[in-house]
Amino acid sequence: MAIVASRAEIGIKKTGSTVHVPDVPRAKLMFYLNCMCNVLDLNDPNMSRLTDYGNYWRLSAEEEGKLLLLCLMLSPDVLNGKCIFLDETGEMCGNVQNAFFELSAVQNRVLVTQDILIGNEQRHVKTIMFYKVSFIRNNYLEPMVALKPRIDALLGIQQGTSRAITYDTERSRLVNTSNYR
């Protein structure tokens, strides 16, 4: 079911807080996953280690693999326009890279999907996130590129395959390209 917010609600409540994320690809992906867990209301206790970006160094190789696979599954191009929304003008984000809002705080220009299918599970959207391209670049694209050899190993991609991940700001989506040698 989808709803269209036709007007701004009185008592708009912006949620979230400013955090410090270590400048390490693994930590940034853990932060990204933490943001997506917030939006999708994923409160699984098994996720706590995967989203504890302040202690990124504690992840085992197996947990890092789970982190990477979850980030691929919850990529921005899958969630954009459903529960996360590009806000390059800064109208909603202000001077930060991303901002969370309770569903009642949606302004009249946004169509919100209340339910989203992730894997085989249907999730109810209670919070949405607005983001600037810099958020996706810093916390998803660059870390995924930095960890590409690990991702390739997880996915069984053989050497000699060249893949690129870019972000199409005009269409607010990721673009994957593959060239085989």
pLDDT in tens, 52-79: 999 999 999 999 999 999 999 999 998 9
In a domain, 73, yes or no: yes
Chain centre distance of CA 107: 21
How many domains would you assign to the chain?
Answer: 1
| 3-state SS, residue 86 | strand
Q: Cα(108)–Cα(97) distance, rounded to whole angstroms?
A: 21
pTM of the predicted model as reported, rounded to 2 decimal places: 0.74
Q: Cα(99)–Cα(92) distance, rounded to whole angstroms?
A: 7
In a domain, 14, yes or no: no
In a domain, 84, yes or no: yes
In a domain, 80, yes or no: yes
In a domain, 82, yes or no: yes
- Kindly state the DSSP code that residue 88 receives in the 8-state scheme: T
Which structural domain, as residue segments, surrounds residue 26?
2-6+20-180
DSSP β-bridge partners for residue 162: 179
Query: Which contiguous run of DSSP H or E holds residue 11?
Result: none
pLDDT digits (tens, 9 = 90+) for 142-174: 999 999 999 998 888 765 555 555 556 555 555
In a domain, 147, yes or no: yes
